[in-house]
Structure 1
């Protein structure tokens, strides 16, 4: 049977684009890709990239204050949201253009359309046309979801935050995950009065308790009004246009904006998947095996639509593994073990491997940790604290987890992640000479465990 294409990719995010252009460019496969929105996906258009640029923007006020403490005669004017936003939009346009050119340069046919699966080898575009392919790759990503509560339609999500016509005077952020905490820090740094509600006992669930506890303390120290064990009871539009929020603790407050950061869902609605035999989980995620293959042999899936490890570099790795498996005859499983992660809260948090709590459940451990005031901010008169922490297996001496809360933690954890991935022992860390004076030197100078479990 002949097909229009060897591969049809649904979704123009990082995973889908990488798979499409490598399959076309390196194996000579005839490839097409359909994207109903903007090329680049969540990361480039409404996620990591604009968020990180907003993090940079939000840190300059503190830098100016520090500069004065270091003897510089500085004066900082007000933050101009319009100026920043127009430059941000131009940068996202540029990056989307890069993605489009990469696809075109690899010989991929692009369709600016929504695509649905019709059968094991056919997709239908929103213009009604149908395309056949030997293989179909699902890479539709995910989207933020709002909880079901009175007045939920009044709230925005992380998708909307970059397009606000003006910065609010105050905002309520609902949620305790990394997206909620990152935007709490960003908006606080830009001069917005930030309140954050989280129904749980501590933010950043699933991360190391000591590390997330320090992040929470520092966020509060910097001005975020963090309310734990608190949720929204209801919301309504007040007469003055503000949003009246009634909290589960009885508080009633007016906010200019309310942002929900309460979870994401895979984009599998109305895709025709279950009708053709693709198994979908309770959360809407596409069920795949270790090689990304669905219950339909010709259909694969990568990235957030599978709801495994929802990170851009992971989606890219999965896309590469798919091409190796299907088009290069080299069955390859993407490696989801020991993935270094950065959370761009303020302060930043970098982590790789097991938390102290998870490691403790697996066997005897030693914990090496130190918390201190870093030289740069201490000299400037700030009370910021940082954390360096290693979780070590007591039997094998292997470093099971590394957790850093500090400025630049994301940069540090990328390098520490190599050592942990290689199986470095505590003694390997000890044999490494410290780089002085740095914050990260503490990672190799901690000689005595603070506790054993």
Structure 2
């Protein structure tokens, strides 16, 4: 059978675009359909605009520090409409780059929503239909609201970047990295932030010591964090929304923001009718090579709900091309992925938490917490944390956890060492860069505890 395309990619986010471009470079006939904006969650409504907001939110503290360092400066009011306009201009520019990269790679793009008609056919919302030898689904995920009374009036993360004005107060519900990042961002931008999380501590799944310090620092910076607390119902009230919570309080907030989870974008895509197996939460089930239960259909990125990070989706896309078009079967590598949480202070982490490591084998823990010199000079009480989790048997560093300004930048390089299997002695042999925060990673000589 002659197909219209060798590969049809559904979804123009980071993973889909990379897979399409790399495949096209191999001479493959590639088409891609995107029903919304090119760049996907990361570029349009995720990592990129969020990081701009992280930068913006840090300036009030930077101004205070500057005064302590002898500068005569002051922070005026934050002009949200001006910042928002500039941010969206930049996002438009980045989207255009994504479109140009596809065009220059020889990928045929369709601005349309796509769904599967069968294992080799894609139907577009324009009425067109195309056949393809291989179909790659890279449709990502979307934030969801819980099924509680009044939730329809609340915000999700997509909405934050489009607000006409900053609210005077906001209730953020959730304790994951999205909830905590936006709590810090909005607090820094002058919004009165309250955060409810039903669990015992924020950032579940991360190292206990690291997330404990983040929670302390968030509270110290002005975030009104309530653990073991959830929302019962909400409804419109003068000045915003009246919220009833499980801690017995009833309060009005200017806005309510749910950061309580994301679901894969698999609804109304013809997947199940085509024979593609979906998991409990609607995620596409795939094997180690990103292949679905239908041999001609593959899936990568958040729609598979494996490790929902942009660089992971990109690597999955490249592994897919290696496997399918380069004759080099390449399983996806989800081991030892460095990641950052852009709270204030940031968290950088790679490998196992202390808790997970000690459940696996006997370990040593090297840890230090201190006031960094830049903040200490300015009279700040905030602390940083450097932590290594080490195998007693192999001496390998099983986990590295950093809570500090620019922790994301630091963990990228620490991640190289951990991925290579560096031992504690390898770290010890590395000369310190002085004076820096990160030098503590190579100067901790005595374990604080074993487990």
TM-score, normalization: structure 2? 1.00
CA drift of 1:49 comes to 0.2
Question: What is the rounded CA distance, in whole Å, between the counterparts of 1:88 and 1:436 in structure 2?
Answer: 36
2:436 to 423, 435, 438: 438
Which residue in 1 is equivalent to 2:56? 57
Which residue in 1 is equivalent to 2:287? 289
Which residue in 2 is equivalent to 1:3? 3
Does the 8 Å CA contact 2:192/2:223 hold for their aligned counterparts? yes
Q: Does 1:76 align with 2:75?
A: yes
Question: What is the rounded CA distance, in whole Å, between the counterparts of 1:142 and 1:226 in structure 2?
Answer: 27
Question: What is the rounded CA distance, in whole Å, between the counterparts of 1:438 and 1:20 in structure 2?
Answer: 42
Does the 8 Å CA contact 2:239/2:252 hold for their aligned counterparts? no
Which residue in 1 is equivalent to 2:424? 426
CA drift of 1:363 comes to 1.0
Which residue in 1 is equivalent to 2:12? 12
Which residue in 1 is equivalent to 2:350? 352
Question: What is the rounded CA distance, in whole Å, between the counterparts of 1:368 and 1:142 in structure 2?
Answer: 37
Which residue in 2 is equivalent to 1:252? 250
Question: What is the rounded CA distance, in whole Å, between the counterparts of 1:251 and 1:19 in structure 2?
Answer: 50
Question: What is the rounded CA distance, in whole Å, between the counterparts of 1:17 and 1:427 in structure 2?
Answer: 41
Question: What is the rounded CA distance, in whole Å, between the counterparts of 1:152 and 1:305 in structure 2?
Answer: 24
Q: Does 1:215 align with 2:214?
A: yes
1:305 to 296, 303, 306: 303
Which residue in 1 is equivalent to 2:396? 398
Q: Does 1:340 align with 2:338?
A: yes
Which residue in 2 is equivalent to 1:132? 131
Question: What is the rounded CA distance, in whole Å, between the counterparts of 2:38 and 2:358 in structure 1?
Answer: 43
Which residue in 2 is equivalent to 1:236? 235
Unaligned runs of 5+ in 1: none
Which residue in 2 is equivalent to 1:23? 23
Which residue in 2 is equivalent to 1:364? 362
After TM superposition, the structure 1 = structure 2 runs for residues 163-202 of structure 1, keeping only pairs within 5 Å, are 163-202=162-201
Question: What is the rounded CA distance, in whole Å, between the counterparts of 1:237 and 1:200 in structure 2?
Answer: 27
Which residue in 2 is equivalent to 1:378? 376
Question: What is the rounded CA distance, in whole Å, between the counterparts of 2:103 and 2:384 in structure 1?
Answer: 46
Question: What is the rounded CA distance, in whole Å, between the counterparts of 1:306 and 1:59 in structure 2?
Answer: 34
Question: What is the rounded CA distance, in whole Å, between the counterparts of 1:394 and 1:102 in structure 2?
Answer: 48
Question: What is the rounded CA distance, in whole Å, between the counterparts of 2:121 and 2:240 in structure 1?
Answer: 48
Which residue in 2 is equivalent to 1:39? 38
Question: What is the rounded CA distance, in whole Å, between the counterparts of 1:5 and 1:107 in structure 2?
Answer: 12
Question: What is the rounded CA distance, in whole Å, between the counterparts of 1:339 and 1:208 in structure 2?
Answer: 15
CA drift of 1:241 comes to 4.4
Question: What is the rounded CA distance, in whole Å, between the counterparts of 1:160 and 1:406 in structure 2?
Answer: 29
| CA deviation map 1:261-284 (0-9, x unaligned) | 000000000111111110000010
State the secondary structure of the residue aligned to 1:436: coil
Question: What is the rounded CA distance, in whole Å, between the counterparts of 1:298 and 1:362 in structure 2?
Answer: 38
Does the 8 Å CA contact 2:346/2:404 hold for their aligned counterparts? yes
- C-alpha RMSD of matched pairs (Å): 0.5
CA drift of 1:123 comes to 0.6
Which residue in 2 is equivalent to 1:330? 328
CA drift of 1:128 comes to 1.7
Does the 8 Å CA contact 2:322/2:330 hold for their aligned counterparts? yes
Aligned pairs, number: 451
CA drift of 1:430 comes to 0.6
CA drift of 1:75 comes to 1.9
Does the 8 Å CA contact 2:366/2:446 hold for their aligned counterparts? yes
Question: What is the rounded CA distance, in whole Å, between the counterparts of 2:344 and 2:70 in structure 1?
Answer: 24
Question: What is the rounded CA distance, in whole Å, between the counterparts of 1:67 and 1:441 in structure 2?
Answer: 24
State the secondary structure of the residue aligned to 1:22: helix
Does the 8 Å CA contact 2:239/2:253 hold for their aligned counterparts? no
CA drift of 1:297 comes to 0.5
